[in-house]
Structure 1
Amino acid sequence: MFPNKDAVVFDGTTLSYADLARSIHTSISEEKNVTAKSFVFNRNPIETLCSVLASNALNRAVVVVPADYPEKNLEIEQEEPVPSGAFIGILTSGSSGKPKTVWKSNDNWELAFKHQSEIFGISKSEKLFVLDALSYSANLNAALHILWEGGTLVLGQLKKARRWKEMFEEAKVSSCFLVPSHCQLLLNNGIVNDNIKSLVTAGEKLSAKMAKELLERFPASKLTEYYGAAELGHITYHQNADIYNFPHSVGKPFPQVKVVVKDNKVTVSSPFVSSEYKENGTVDDLGYFDKGDRLVLKGRSGRMFNRRALNIYAQEIENIALTFDSVQKAVLVESEINKRLNLYFTTNSKALGNDEEELAAFLKQCLPKAKMPSFVKELEEIPHSETGKVDFRALSKMSGEGEILNIAS
């Protein structure tokens, strides 16, 4: 390791590996008398990284908390015990909305790093761009991976997306990890860069249209989409042309991962699965293998809706909508108001609402009547959380507002 090499770049501050080591030792001195698990609020990402690495050196678990995390939820978390060998606690809302912590051991992540380096094309020479929301497990994993590799971590801010192009040039960024909704910002801001060698995305399905455009804008890049979960680690992946040639798939298993589908339920066994999930190995995702042994997801069980004894999978409807030329993103939700299924979408059209009738007609051609959404509605933007994931609850509360095109009848 070269002590003078840049380790972390963030908002005008650059830390060398020697600087980072000193900051970690300072954190160790400040925290060595703390015996319980520690909570780190993700306000300054450099301080967050130092606290995480210091806690690891002290063999103590640490939970990275979003800056706006509700205090009442944190009180619940403080009561929860820490499993033996836990390193990182990942906060999630839980399937029922009740907060929970997913615990990862050091091995759960570090054992995957060598595979990530090989598959994603990440080496010690890379300068990896990751957003500063390190309470999101995939971002934190990417950040720790590049430091493990000995490369440079370039932390960006969502609120400064319009400056990413300048950041890429100033910091000589060579690799990126972004969820698809944040990849869309690269495209929206007109960023074209032939120096990016690796572009990795996860968190939600990458559309074929976006995959093609990303490869056009970043022609020297290896584009990788992987499917994973905080509870299960990396599961499957595919790359480049496979992403748009097999648009409904999420690829084949990650090394050391075994995926089994029984009665539509996806179960996983690997060294990367959290201890609490090793026995069951599932987060209730539903799917099947295509003829090429590629995994196709139907969605999570919570996004499977039963209508007149017929199972309707949200991702199936969304995938069909995405094949319509102008649709960029599509999300099917159940209304909290009337329990109807409503499809919200965004397009590349300039005039809002122009594509609603055309998409409705297209869906009627592609879907049986029993699977038709009750409404379609074009939005200027799909609501997302800070981590870039779709905010399904916000959409379900929107249902019934404004003029929405009824297509179920």
Structure 2
Amino acid sequence: MNYYELLQLWCGRQAEKVLLVEDQREYSYGKMLEQVDALRAGLADEAAHGLRGSILVLADTLNGQLAAFLALQALQLRPVLLHHGLAEGEIKAILCENRLNGQLVIRQRSPAQSDLDWTWLESGLEEQGRAQEDILGVLSSGSTGVPKVMYRTYESWAGFFPVQNEIFQITGGTRLFLHGSLSFTGNLNALLGVLYAGGSIITSSRWHCRWWAQLMADWQVDAIYLVPTKLQLLAAKVKQPLMQVRSLFTGSQLLSDRNIGDLQRLLPQAKIILYYGASELNYITYTVCGEKRRDSCNLGRPFPGIGLRVDDGIIYVDTPYHVSGLKPPYTVRDTGWLNEAGELMFEGRRENWINKGGVKLNTLRLENKLRAVPGIRAAVVMPMADALRGSTVAAFVVKEGDVSAAKVRQAVRQVLQPVEIPRRLLFLPRLPLNDRGKVDRSVLAKLVDE
């Protein structure tokens, strides 16, 4: 089974139902299948002359990403969706390091629903053999080097969709809003979960929160999946409550009590679910926000069927829903501990801790402290080299309103312990984000070195 076959299955039952809305473009299940089959037919000739194995896909729209993803699976090939904004040298490095067959470039030629141009660029590389069960690849973040392709079977995600869809309240009637590239595994997983249920996806190619809210209202969106940085922007820009939304799910490491309060005001009827997961391991734990205050590091209990333990501060996960080649229990080197209720208290990646002259500082907790400071809307903390102490604290903050930098600095000194006070506190108009909506720490690292 693959996702092309799943689309075929739904087309036999609800061909006229909307599958995808991308701004002004609408694609029913039937129209999407027509578009995918047209692309598949065009690629079939290439497949007969060497198009094989794992294919890197670069598309300028989410519709193009999805169409290529499904068309390649129809040809029994493995799509790997590429992050946007990478330089030619970076793309070449991904091809070479992962021994990929080549790159498929997809462009939306016009607003017509099935009008996709494509270009095939063969790499000339011989790919290492993959298990027949692997049907897709996903890219790692590449934060510490060339992004690595991790492969998945159909069951490694689809086998868990009944569990996650029930918790996230995804059904055949769902209209889910998401934003950003499908190269972000959270977006791809959420979209495929909705496809599995027979629901609809609403999205936009624009970075405009008020436009997103308009789309949500026009299409009666009842579920939202957005990364925390985008949720913070949405809550700051949109003042009219979105009463029709019944479910919001998101990764929680960047959401403070104040952020959650803002979301509860924006989405008064919504069940707000914060989860912890990893690209390698899928969903791990979750918690539902209620009226009582929560520790921002509390990421809840494991999803049903998922095992969790902490050894020497390192989180280990036992799950059958992992990328190919892993042997559970497995760790991505995240740190934390379990409280008396069996809930995971998350403390971030081990490499993100700062050892300041023998004092270990948790960057995640420092970020949460800074976000609670009046006058700070967003904050990121990173280690910074220090000749005397080995490393020290650098912090990047976005001010709220017209509060002065001097007032914020004073408030920071009152909230943080002396050893926690940043050596460098830089004020930015906004945090730099990548195409997945996550903070681009490589940009911030360059600012530290200036």
Same fold per superposition (TM over 0.5): yes
Q: Aligned pair in 2 of structure 1 residues 341, 278: CA closer, same or farther (>3 Å)?
A: same
CA distances 1:279-337 after superposition (whole Å, capped 9, x unpaired): 46111111111222211111102202223333222112222223334433222112369
What residue in structure 2 maps to residue 405 of structure 1? none
> Does structure 1 residue 2 correspond to structure 2 residue 19?
no
Match of 1:334 among 379, 383, 388: 383
Q: Does the 8 Å contact 1:303/1:314 carry over to 2?
A: yes
What residue in structure 2 maps to residue 234 of structure 1? 283
Whole-angstrom CA distance in 1 between matches of 2:135 and 2:414: 49
Q: CA deviation at 1:137?
A: 0.9
What residue in structure 1 maps to residue 82 of structure 2? 65
Q: Which range moves more in the overlay, 132-141 or 48-57?
A: 48-57
> Does structure 1 residue 295 correspond to structure 2 residue 344?
yes
> Does structure 1 residue 201 correspond to structure 2 residue 250?
yes
Q: CA deviation at 1:183?
A: 0.8
Whole-angstrom CA distance in 1 between matches of 2:82 and 2:20: 20
CA distances 1:151-193 after superposition (whole Å, capped 9, x unpaired): 1111222423331222122222221110011112211222421
Whole-angstrom CA distance in 1 between matches of 2:259 and 2:129: 40
Equivalent position amino acid for 1:149 in 2 = A
Whole-angstrom CA distance in 1 between matches of 2:291 and 2:320: 26
Equivalent position amino acid for 2:392 in 1 = R
Match of 2:209 among 154, 161, 178: 161
Whole-angstrom CA distance in 1 between matches of 2:250 and 2:340: 25
| RMSD over equivalenced CA pairs, Å | 2.3
Whole-angstrom CA distance in 1 between matches of 2:361 and 2:225: 32
Whole-angstrom CA distance in 2 between matches of 1:5 and 1:61: 27
Whole-angstrom CA distance in 2 between matches of 1:278 and 1:353: 49
Q: CA deviation at 1:265?
A: 0.6
Equivalent position amino acid for 1:235 in 2 = I
> Structure 1 stretches of 5 or more lacking a match?
402-409
3-state SS of 2:14 partner: coil
Q: Does the 8 Å contact 1:37/1:82 carry over to 2?
A: no
3-state SS of 2:315 partner: strand
Equivalent position amino acid for 2:397 in 1 = F
Q: CA deviation at 1:57?
A: 3.6
Whole-angstrom CA distance in 1 between matches of 2:419 and 2:129: 47
Match of 1:180 among 206, 213, 228: 228
> Does structure 1 residue 102 correspond to structure 2 residue 135?
no
Q: Which range moves more in the overlay, 251-260 or 17-26?
A: 17-26
Q: Aligned pair in 2 of structure 1 residues 103, 337: CA closer, same or farther (>3 Å)?
A: farther
3-state SS of 1:320 partner: helix
3-state SS of 2:310 partner: strand
Q: Which range moves more in the overlay, 24-33 or 214-223?
A: 24-33
Q: Aligned pair in 2 of structure 1 residues 263, 71: CA closer, same or farther (>3 Å)?
A: same
Q: CA deviation at 1:346?
A: 2.6
3-state SS of 1:288 partner: strand
What residue in structure 1 maps to residue 323 of structure 2? 274
3-state SS of 2:439 partner: coil
Q: Aligned pair in 2 of structure 1 residues 317, 278: CA closer, same or farther (>3 Å)?
A: same
What residue in structure 1 maps to residue 128 of structure 2? 81
Structure-to-structure mapping, 1:3-402, within 5 angstroms: 3-32=15-44, 33=47, 34-69=51-86, 70-76=90-96, 77=98, 78=100, 81=128, 83-84=130-131, 85-94=133-142, 96-191=144-239, 192-202=241-251, 204-241=253-290, 244-279=293-328, 281-335=330-384, 339-364=391-416, 367=417, 369-399=418-448
Q: CA deviation at 1:74?
A: 3.2
CA distances 1:120-140 after superposition (whole Å, capped 9, x unpaired): 111111111111411111111
Q: Which range moves more in the overlay, 271-280 or 206-215?
A: 271-280
Q: CA deviation at 1:203?
A: 7.0
3-state SS of 1:340 partner: strand
Q: Does the 8 Å contact 1:207/1:244 carry over to 2?
A: no
Q: Does the 8 Å contact 1:356/1:378 carry over to 2?
A: no
Q: Does the 8 Å contact 2:229/2:437 carry over to 1?
A: yes
> Structure 2 stretches of 5 or more lacking a match?
1-12, 101-124
Whole-angstrom CA distance in 2 between matches of 1:242 and 1:232: 30
What residue in structure 2 maps to residue 404 of structure 1? none
3-state SS of 2:27 partner: strand
3-state SS of 1:238 partner: strand
Q: Aligned pair in 2 of structure 1 residues 318, 103: CA closer, same or farther (>3 Å)?
A: same
CA distances 1:256-298 after superposition (whole Å, capped 9, x unpaired): 2111110111111112211233346111111111222211111
CA distances 1:76-117 after superposition (whole Å, capped 9, x unpaired): 232563641222211224353232112222111111211121
Q: Does the 8 Å contact 1:42/1:135 carry over to 2?
A: no
Q: Does the 8 Å contact 1:124/1:150 carry over to 2?
A: yes
Q: Aligned pair in 2 of structure 1 residues 317, 176: CA closer, same or farther (>3 Å)?
A: same
Whole-angstrom CA distance in 1 between matches of 2:228 and 2:129: 33
Whole-angstrom CA distance in 2 between matches of 1:232 and 1:214: 27
Whole-angstrom CA distance in 2 between matches of 1:83 and 1:196: 41
Q: Does the 8 Å contact 1:298/1:315 carry over to 2?
A: yes
Whole-angstrom CA distance in 1 between matches of 2:206 and 2:215: 12
What residue in structure 2 maps to residue 407 of structure 1? none
Q: Which range moves more in the overlay, 265-274 or 157-166?
A: 157-166
Q: Which range moves more in the overlay, 257-266 or 82-91?
A: 82-91
Count the aligned residue pairs: 398
Q: Aligned pair in 2 of structure 1 residues 22, 329: CA closer, same or farther (>3 Å)?
A: same
TM-score by length of 2: 0.82
TM-score by length of 1: 0.90
